[in-house]
Structure 1
Amino acid sequence: MRALKRASQWLFVLLATTMLAACATGPQVRTDYDPSADFGQYRTWSFYSPIAMEESGYSTWISDRIKDNVRKEMEARGYRYVEASPDLQVNFQGVVQDRTEVFSMPRSGVQYFYNYRRNAYVGVPVWYDDTHVSRYREGTLTVDLVDARRNRMVWTGDAIARVVKKTPEQKMAEVDQAINAIFLQYPHRAATP
């Protein structure tokens, strides 16, 4: 019985380590695109107006950091920034939501019962599920590329991660990592003239 209990404890430690390793690798990234879009025609870009994250009418240091990162990523792919008549417009939005995660862990133990006829205790193995509830905040940073001529989104990428209290410097590093992770999934380069 002790071996079984020790094995279940090691299983829990292994599961917890795996979950922490998955969290430490960065945000989860999801992308989607318009299959009718011709990415070979896009050469120039600008920011969408108004940017979804700045709908309130003002910018923040986070939105400025995102803009700087988007600019670097677009230029690295050969796109040229222009104010008037761009081929693509980049929009972005950040959303934070409360989440609840519920999971069960199989557990085992031994229940002892007193047997009056034998005048002794008897151990009976017991199996049950140990349910854990975790409440946390999840942030999603979305970057959209919009065909400016048609005003139609042609590509989108989301970076999703848990939100925890951090210093402004740590937040900047997370923004950098999220934008980089999103654009790592963008397979296109600017069209050559």
Structure 2
Amino acid sequence: MRARRAATACVLFTILCASCATQRTADIHVNMAPGADLSAYSTFGFPEQTGTDRGGYSTIVTDYFKTAVKEQMELRGYRYVEENPNLLVNFYANVHERSEVRATPTVAPAFGYYGYRYGLYDAWPLYAQDIETVTYPFGTANIDVVDAQKRQLIWEGVAEGRLHEQDMEDPREAISSAVTQLFTHFPGHARSADASAAQ
């Protein structure tokens, strides 16, 4: 009976760990220039060459970022223009391998070396630990929002997190998710049309 309870506890622990590992929430870090007023701007665009461009040409990853950023900026009232925007939005992404050494609790069986315990008592659930090294792709995405006239960074968002096989196969969805999560921390909304006309 005790062995069955210990095995059940081990299975539940494994399911819990698997559930945590599949969460797609990134770690988000943001910085904003002191005194910056994001409501003072109404239009945005992209620099001639973004951080994800390579060798002087635009990449597919650049297109994915532009689509996701446009959607988020327009949701906040900013209007995309190709010439003389108030804000420039730049972005960069990097993927590298990360390794972790993990100790996974397991159940210590009451046989083999530990056979002397059999029928007398069991170890507590999750007594033993298996040590393993896990290597996985880890991604970082940056979004910079720049005052186009002053050429000054006024807001920066960084998203970091483990990438899964599906993310590598469908980067469009992974980029869209990262950009959406970053913009949940973006405090700006465009100035109203009335305010723009008054100026």
TM over 0.5: yes
Q: Match for residue 143 of structure 2?
A: 143
Gaps of 5+ in 2: none
Q: Match for residue 122 of structure 1?
A: 116
Q: Against the structure 1 CA distance between its residues 168 and 139, is the aligned structure 2 distance closer, same or farther, given a 3 Å change threshold? A: closer
Q: Against the structure 1 CA distance between its residues 169 and 122, is the aligned structure 2 distance closer, same or farther, given a 3 Å change threshold? A: closer
Confirm or deny: 8 A CA contact 1:42 1:191 kept in the other structure. Answer: yes
Q: Match for residue 19 of structure 1?
A: 20
Task: Work out the CA distance in 1 between the residues paired with 2:62 and 2:21.
Answer: 28
Give 1:10-49 correspondences, 5 Å limit: 10-23=11-24, 26-49=25-48
Task: Work out the CA distance in 2 between the residues paired with 1:188 and 1:167.
Answer: 29
Q: Against the structure 1 CA distance between its residues 172 and 113, is the aligned structure 2 distance closer, same or farther, given a 3 Å change threshold? A: closer
Q: Against the structure 1 CA distance between its residues 41 and 64, is the aligned structure 2 distance closer, same or farther, given a 3 Å change threshold? A: same
Q: Against the structure 1 CA distance between its residues 150 and 55, is the aligned structure 2 distance closer, same or farther, given a 3 Å change threshold? A: farther
Residue identity matched to 1:147: D
Q: Deviation per CA, 1:157-191: give whole Å up to 9, x if none.
A: 23334334459983322222222222222121012
Give 1:1-193 correspondences, 5 Å limit: 1-3=2-4, 5-23=6-24, 26-109=25-108, 110=110, 122-123=116-117, 127-166=127-166, 170-192=170-192, 193=196
Confirm or deny: 8 A CA contact 1:108 1:125 kept in the other structure. Answer: no
Residue-pair matches, total: 185
Output the TM-score relative to the length of structure 2. 0.76
Gaps of 5+ in 1: 115-120
Confirm or deny: 8 A CA contact 1:158 1:182 kept in the other structure. Answer: yes
Task: Work out the CA distance in 1 between the residues paired with 2:83 and 2:113.
Answer: 82
Residue identity matched to 1:143: I
Output the TM-score relative to the length of structure 1. 0.78
In percent, how many aligned pairs have the same letter?
Answer: 29
Q: Against the structure 1 CA distance between its residues 167 and 45, is the aligned structure 2 distance closer, same or farther, given a 3 Å change threshold? A: closer
Secondary structure, aligned partner of 2:44: strand
RMSD value over aligned CA atoms? 2.9
Report which stretch shifted further, 154-163 or 164-173.
164-173
Normalized per residue, the structure richer in strand is 1
